[in-house]
Each structure stands twice: as structure tokens, then as C-alpha cells.
Amino acid sequence: MEHDGERIRAEETLPRGTSEPARVWTRGVDGLAALGTIMIVFLMAIIVADVAVRNVVGASLPLIAELGALTVVLIVFLQLAAAVRNDRLASTDFVLDAVARSRPRFALAIRAMWDLVGAALCAGIAWSSWGILWRDIEHREFIGVTGVLTMPTSPFRALIFIGAVVAAVQFVLLALSRLRGVARAGEYPR
């Protein structure tokens, strides 16, 4: 997160007096993002392997299409909380930046409102994912071709659920940080 050219550390989005929990939270969010990065490498590897096998054998590897689709969604949710924490979501802030020059507290309040909307959306996605996860567990859902190669979907769904929950909590933490800035006479939250 940046404000007036100054970089704000990720730990500063948590309430004061929570230094150890803040470090644990930050490591957890970074751990999910790192797992997302590993999944990107995995996705690239299976795509390259599939292309190579198609060129040599003339047929696709089993499970690649389904695994690739689940992996892309998984990557998004694993890295979402880190993007939120570092204020790196794609947005057009030119209007808010103009407002912030003359009314910084008002701009922070608007950003806090958007963070709360983001938290609500991520919470809704988590709630929906929870039902899908339990359906997959109860029905023992698999992807792939029976008798050739299959894989359970529940580990992917569980990580998507965790990513959505962590992103929702991170949005709330960021909103609280911005609201503390509103309450401190326009000073940017530190």
C-alpha cells in the first residue's frame, strides 16, 4: 500500500498491539500466496507436458483440462488476500486520488466502504464454496476419466474456501485500518 510515495508495511493493516498475531497473519497470507505461485509453476509444467505429449503421441494427457481449470481458480483465491493486503487489486483511483488531495478523510472513508464491500463479496464466495466443498466430500466428486486417471476435487475446493475466507478477513482488516485513519483527523493509517 502506498500513500504520498510512502510504502506502508503489510503488518500495519492490523490493529495496534497485535504484533505477534500480525506476524502470524502476514506469514499465513504470504504462505497462501507462495502456494499460489507454486501452483502457477505446476500449471505451466502440466501444460508443457500436455503439449509435448500431444506433439509426440498425438493425444492429450488425461486430467489436464479439468486440472488446469481448477488450478487457475485455485491460484486466484490463494493469492487474493496478499493482493488485498498490499493494495494491489486492479482499480481506477484517479477520482479518489483527486478527492484525497483536498479531503483525505473522505477518500479513506470511501476506500474503507469499498473494502467492506470486498469483504462481503469474499464472504459470500466463501459461503457458497463451503456448500460446494461439502457436496464434493459427501458425493466423493472426482475429476478425470474413471479407470484412467481421477483426482478428488475436495482438496481444491477446500483451498478455494480458505482463500476466500482469508481474503474476506484481510478486506475487513484493511477497512479497519482506513477507518482508524479517518478517525485520526485525516492522518493516513500507519
pLDDT tens digits, one per residue of 84-140: 999 888 877 788 888 888 988 898 999 999 999 999 999 999 999 999 999 999 999
Residue 139 lies in a domain: yes
Q: How many structural domains are present in the chain? A: 1
Among 28, 135, 43, residue whose Cα is nearest residue 85: 28
Residue 10: which residues within 8 A CB-CB, separation 6 or more? 1, 26, 29, 85, 86
* Residue 149 pLDDT level (bands cut at 50, 70, 90): confident
Residue 167 lies in a domain: yes
Q: Is the separation of the CB atoms in 178 and 115 below 8 Å?
A: yes
Residue 59, SS3? coil
Residue 6 lies in a domain: yes
Q: Is the separation of the CB atoms in 88 and 168 below 8 Å?
A: no
* Residue 145 pLDDT level (bands cut at 50, 70, 90): confident
Residue 93 lies in a domain: yes
Supply the range of the domain harboring residue 139.
Answer: 2-183
pTM of the model: 0.82
Look up residue 141 and give its DSSP letter.
Answer: -
Residue 152, SS3? strand
What pLDDT, on the 0 to 100 scale, is given for residue 120?
Answer: 98
Residue 132 lies in a domain: yes
Look up residue 188 and give its DSSP letter.
Answer: P
Residue 173 lies in a domain: yes
Residue 39 lies in a domain: yes
Among 139, 127, 115, residue whose Cα is nearest residue 164: 127
Residue 188 lies in a domain: no
Residue 172: which residues within 8 A CB-CB, separation 6 or more? 115, 116, 119
Highest averaged pLDDT of the listed ranges 5-9, 60-64, 81-85, 148-152 = 81-85
